[in-house]
Amino acid sequence: MHSYTNSHRILVALDCIIFGFDGKSLKLLLIKRNFEPEFGKWSLMGGFLEENEDLHSAASRILFTLTGLHNNYLEYLQTFGAVDRDPVERTISVIHYALVTIDDQDPAALEAHNASWIDLGDKPTLIFDHNQMVETALRQLRYKAAMYPIGFELLPEKFTVPQLHKLYEAIYNVPLDRRNFSRRVIATDLLRRTGEKDETSSTKKGQLYALNTEKYQAYLNGYATFMPELAELTAC
């Protein structure tokens, strides 16, 4: 068996930026560390690459460990490799971001890892270069949400148009004209009427929709742009 000579030990870590939406604001899933280094401080959820797994499998494992969820939207983002990014040992971090439905998570998994959903606007200072990771992920989310309808990944199975409108306002952190937004979304044919109504609403705006999954896949795999007018907000 051959081996590389004159090589040095470098660890490969996976860090996940996990976004959720509670109906009002965009949230991050963070852990308050009960281990060293940086005991008691806030960080992203991460772990080390195991010998017999690829990078995406490792990121999926970490996401499942923290949320109990499989098959969520999970995308490779960037690799962080500054020499001094980890004070303990030379470590490069391969970061992914995930979009999950908060209501579908496993509360026991969150409790086991001392994890909490934090409003993006209230994000505490994170350890190492995790703040930069979050900023990078948010820029990518804003870009991709304009180009592709991935924002639906943050919604429950059934939702109202006002809920969808509120979601996109939360993603871009700006007010969006309600009528124009509703008209634009309905024109995409991504919404499928369920014939049901949100029982908490007393108006027709409480009509519940579901995602047209075939149309959704066509947007993901095709060349149509979901909401190009939002693209100019990606720098916000």
Cβ atoms of 95 and 136 within 8 Å: the answer is yes
pLDDT tens digits, residue range 83-100? Answer: 999 999 999 999 999 999
Q: Would you list the DSSP string of 145-205?
A: HHHS-GGGGGS-SEE-HHHHHHHHHHHHTS---HHHHHHHHHHTT-EEEEEEE-TT--SGG
Q: Quick count: other Cβ atoms within 10 Å of Cβ 181?
A: 19
> How much is the pTM?
0.93
β-pair partners for 174 = none
Range of the domain at 67: 11-146
Q: What is the pLDDT of residue 202?
A: 57
Let me know whether 165 and 93 are in one domain: no
Residue 223 counted as domain residue: yes
Q: Answer whether residue 13 shows pLDDT above 70.
A: yes
Let me know whether 17 and 60 are in one domain: yes
Last residue within a domain, chosen from 146, 170, 200: 146
b vs e for 89-124, b when ≥16 Cβ sit within 10 Å of the residue's Cβ?
eebbbbbbbbbbbbeebeeeebeebebebbebeebe
Let me know whether 115 and 190 are in one domain: no
- The secondary structure of the chain in percent helix, strand, coil, rounded to multiples of 5, reads 35, 25, 35
Q: What is the pLDDT of residue 205?
A: 64
Question: What's the token pair of residue 81?
Answer: 């490799």
What is the SS3 assignment for 119? strand
Confidence of residue 222 (pLDDT cuts 50, 70, 90): confident
Over residues 26-43, mean pLDDT? 94
Averaged pLDDT score across all residues of the chain: 92
Q: What is the pLDDT of residue 165?
A: 96
Q: Which residue has the tokens 């030379």?
A: 90
Smallest CA-to-CA distance from 154 within 100, 75, 91, 116 is with 100
DSSP 8-state code for residue 103: G
Last residue within a domain, chosen from 115, 146, 177: 146
Q: What is the pLDDT of residue 99?
A: 97
Confidence of residue 204 (pLDDT cuts 50, 70, 90): low
Query: Which residues lie below 8 Å from residue 188, measured CB to CB, with a gap of 6+?
Result: 149, 215, 219, 226
Q: What is the pLDDT of residue 232?
A: 74
DSSP 8-state code for residue 133: H
Smallest CA-to-CA distance from 24 within 151, 134, 171, 142 is with 171
Q: Answer whether residue 2 shows pLDDT above 80.
A: no
The CATH number that applies at residue 65 is 3.90.79.10
Name the more confident of 233 and 168.
Answer: 168
Q: What is the pLDDT of residue 71?
A: 78
Smallest CA-to-CA distance from 189 within 169, 159, 174, 209 is with 209
Over residues 63-81, mean pLDDT? 93
Q: What is the pLDDT of residue 228?
A: 79
Q: What is the pLDDT of residue 223?
A: 72
Name the more confident of 116 and 224.
Answer: 116
Counting the structural domains of the chain, the total is 2
Question: What's the token pair of residue 64?
Answer: 């499942």
pLDDT tens digits, residue range 146-190? Answer: 999 999 999 999 999 999 999 999 999 999 999 999 999 999 999
Let me know whether 50 and 98 are in one domain: yes
pLDDT tens digits, residue range 122-142? Answer: 999 999 999 999 999 999 999
